[in-house]
Amino acid sequence: MPLVNPFKAVRPSRDKVGLIASRPYETYTKAQLEARLDNNPFSFLHIVNPGYKYHKEISGPQRFKLVKNRYDEFKEDGSFIQDKTANFYLHKIVYRKKIEFVGIVGAASVDDYENRIIRKHEDTISEKVEVYNDYLKTVRFNADPVLLTHPKNSKIEEIKQKMMKDRAEYEFTTTSRETHYLWLIKDKGDIKSIQEEFNKMSHFYIADGHHRTNSSISLRAAIAKENKKHTGKEAYNFFMSFLIPENQLQIFEFNRLVQSLNGLSKENFLIRLDEFFKIENRGQNYYKPGGKHRFSMYLDNEFYSLALRKNSYKFTDSLSQLDAQILFKTVLEPILGISDLRHDKRIKYVQGQKDMTYVKGAIDNGSYRVGFGLFPVTVQEMKRIADESLVMPPKTTYIDPKLRSGITIYEF
């Protein structure tokens, strides 16, 4: 079923990988970006922010061309090298010396995504996909793998364990206290075994990288149209992916902050909530939901627990059972008047690693009026949504691992 190919990665020289690898540039504050760009000439951020050397904001096609120029410069000066043979790459990430993610970097098939062998659980924004297509068509490389997940496989795990007994090609630690290791899987027998084991699986699931995956369809069509000798085996028929077993995924919730009560008094707001929830005032006692269909709420210096009244809410499919959807259908839309979860400026999403303490602080300082804490989605819930061709509300899952840019690069 799923097809995954080895490829000839472009990657940093061993002595520079720790300097080159970066988080996606949008995750840095302006001050952080400036510090890294000022003090580290090898950062991948110089490639994706090419206007920095000219002290100018550059966007659109001009930026894309400059990105390609900076990338070529890194190759020309030896900061990047390209493997002579097609390999799989074993990437291990250790968070805070205790949480490990071990996966295989390979090239997944665009056909498999089109045919729903690779399944999604999120929707994409067409404008964002179009911009990303234009970018990729100009630069002709991808430095950020899509995160795919699959059932644990004993044969693949045996190969991983065997590889990790040898010295890694890369070993470096970031300022975020992540340690990265990379091994090259060159042995033809191991490569064949990995491909065969992946091919036995029924489906892969996208954990992170829906826009990158979706853009691969139109990108492939555009490039193939220009290639009179198109065979379907060219590199643009695949996209770089980091494949890890589903038992390794860490899924956190996104909590919600809302600016107002939509004209309601506190008392009337609580009365409206009572239609769908059993409400308990917990005062100053910090509360975080301990299971599905339970929510925490912070309002006027007090924590509340909300337990769904199941006789007041109808479950119709996997989406309707999702806590983010329940909160939307019972509170955000009918009571607080928020129908556009993606664009309404009155709502803010906070990754669960910041927990309800962050939510409390944002409300206590007057920036927001009320906050809601959710219980994290499980892998099985995510898979059911994908299997039923449904999509989760925006900002339902925050998934680790988060991958660094520039460690392996896929050219097409």
What is the spatial distance between Cα 46 and Cα 33, in angstroms, rounded to a whole number?
Answer: 10
Q: 3-state class of 174 per DSSP?
A: coil
Once rounded to an integer, what is the mean pLDDT over residues 210-236?
Answer: 95
Output the CA angle 118-123-129, nearest 5 degrees. Answer: 90
Give the start-end residues of each E strand in 110-176: 118-119, 141-142, 146-150, 170-173
Match domain 251-376 to its CATH number in 1.20.120, 3.30.1760, 3.30.450, 1.10.1660. 3.30.1760
State the pLDDT at residue 25: 85
Q: 3-state class of 399 per DSSP?
A: strand
**What is the β-pairing status of strands 4-5 and 99-109?**
antiparallel
State the pLDDT at residue 261: 98
- Tens of pLDDT, residues 324-364: 999 999 999 999 999 999 999 999 999 988 889 999 999 99
Q: Does pLDDT of 216 surpass 90?
A: yes
What is the spatial distance between Cα 46 and Cα 49, in angstroms, rounded to a whole number?
Answer: 5
- Of the candidates 247, 202, 209, 211, the one whose C-alpha atom is nearest the C-alpha of residue 378 is 247
State the pLDDT at residue 54: 87
What is the spatial distance between Cα 241 and Cα 115, in angstroms, rounded to a whole number?
Answer: 17
Question: 209 φ, ψ to 5°?
Answer: 115, 35
Element (H, E) at 242: strand 238-245
Return the CATH architecture of domain 4-248+400-411.
Alpha-Beta Complex (3.90)
Q: 3-state class of 240 per DSSP?
A: strand
What is the spatial distance between Cα 364 and Cα 192, in angstroms, rounded to a whole number?
Answer: 58
Contact (Cβ atoms closer than 8 angstroms) between residue 237 and residue 110: yes
State the pLDDT at residue 257: 98
Give the model's confidence band at 200: pLDDT under 50 very low, under 70 low, under 90 confident, else very high: very high
Domain residue limits, the chain: 4-248+400-411, 251-376
Q: Per the structure block, which two tokens stand in for 210?
A: 């829906």
Output the CA angle 366-368-373, nearest 5 degrees. Answer: 130
State the pLDDT at residue 354: 87
Q: Per the structure block, which two tokens stand in for 369?
A: 């009026």
State the pLDDT at residue 127: 87
Contact (Cβ atoms closer than 8 angstroms) between residue 410 and residue 219: no
Q: Does pLDDT of 26 surpass 90?
A: no
Task: Give the least confident one: 33-47, 125-139, 312-326.
Answer: 125-139
- Tens of pLDDT, residues 252-309: 999 999 999 999 999 999 999 999 999 999 999 999 999 999 999 999 999 999 999 9
State the pLDDT at residue 219: 94
Output the CA angle 194-197-203, nearest 5 degrees. Answer: 120
What is the spatial distance between Cα 345 and Cα 348, in angstroms, rounded to a whole number?
Answer: 7
3-state SS of 93-134? Answer: EEECCCEEEEEEEEEEEHHHHHCCCEECCCCCCHHHHHHHHH
State the pLDDT at residue 397: 96
State the pLDDT at residue 67: 97
- Of the candidates 67, 211, 69, the one whose C-alpha atom is nearest the C-alpha of residue 132 is 211
State the pLDDT at residue 55: 86
Identity of the residue numbered 186: K
- Of the candidates 80, 102, 116, 89, the one whose C-alpha atom is nearest the C-alpha of residue 5 is 89
What is the spatial distance between Cα 290 and Cα 394, in angstroms, rounded to a whole number?
Answer: 22
Q: Per the structure block, which two tokens stand in for 97?
A: 């010396």
Once rounded to an integer, what is the mean pLDDT over residues 147-160?
Answer: 98
Output the furthest CA–CA distance in the chain (Å, rounded): 69
- Tens of pLDDT, residues 96-131: 888 999 999 999 999 999 999 999 999 988 888 899
Q: Does pLDDT of 93 surpass 90?
A: yes
State the pLDDT at residue 97: 82
Q: Does pLDDT of 146 surpass 90?
A: yes
What is the spatial distance between Cα 363 and Cα 6, in angstroms, rounded to a whole number?
Answer: 50
State the pLDDT at residue 53: 86
- As a whole number, the mean pLDDT across the chain is 96
**What is the β-pairing status of strands 118-119 and 204-208?**
parallel
pLDDT-above-90 percentage for the chain: 93
Q: Per the structure block, which two tokens stand in for 29?
A: 């504050």
Contact (Cβ atoms closer than 8 angstroms) between residue 352 and residue 254: yes
Q: Does pLDDT of 178 surpass 90?
A: yes
State the pLDDT at residue 126: 84
